[in-house]
Structure 1
Amino acid sequence: MTEKVSNARWFGVALQSLIVLANYEGLCPSGKLAEKLDSKSVFLRKILTHLVKAGLIQAKEGKNGGYSLVKHPSEITLAEVYESMSAETFPKGFLDVESKECFLPDTIHALCELRTEMEGWILEGLQQKTLADLMKK
Structure 2
Amino acid sequence: MAEKVSSMKWFGLALEALLVLANEDTLCPSGKLAEKLNSKSTFLRKILTHLVKAELIQAKEGRDGGYALKKRPETITLAEVYDAMKAETFPKGFLDVESKECFLPNTQASLCNLREEMEEWIVTGLKEKTLADLME
TM-score tier, shorter chain, comes to over 0.9
Distance 1:7 1:98 in 2: 22
2:94 aligns with: 94
TM-score when scaled to structure 2? 0.99
**In structure 2, distance between residues paired with 1:99 and 1:131:** 40
CA shift for structure 1 position 25: 1.2
SS at structure 2 position matched to 1:58: strand
Give unpaired runs (5+ residues) of structure 1: none
For 1:115, the equivalent position in structure 2 comes to: 115
Alignment of 1:18-33 (within 5 A): 18-33=18-33
CA distance in 2, matches of 1:49, 1:79: 17
Alpha-carbon distance in 1 for matches of 2:112, 2:51? 29
After superposition, residues 70-109 of structure 1 pair within 5 angstroms as: 70-109=70-109
Distance 1:14 1:133 in 2: 15
Q: Deviations over 1:82-109 (max 9, x none)?
A: 0000000001100000100000000000
SS state of the match for residue 80, structure 1? Answer: helix
Identity rate, percent? 74
User: Per-residue deviation at 1:53?
Assistant: 0.3
Matches of 1:83 and 1:4, distance apart in 2: 9
- Structure 1: 4+ residue segments shifted above 3 A: none
TM-fit CA distance, 1:2: 1.9
In structure 1, the residue corresponding to 2:124 is in which secondary structure? helix
Equivalence for 2:6: 6
The unaligned stretches of length 5 or more in structure 2 are none
Distance in 1 between residues matched to 2:79 and 2:85, nearest whole Å: 10
Tell me how large the CA RMSD over aligned residues is.
Answer: 0.4
Q: How many residues in Structure 1 have an aligned counterpart in Structure 2?
A: 136
CA deviation string 1:107-133 (max 9, x = no partner): 000000000000000000000000000
Alignment of 1:31-50 (within 5 A): 31-50=31-50
Distance 1:122 1:21 in 2: 25
Alpha-carbon distance between aligned partners in 1 of 2:135 and 2:102, rounded to the nearest angstrom: 47
Q: 1:57 corresponds to which residue?
A: 57
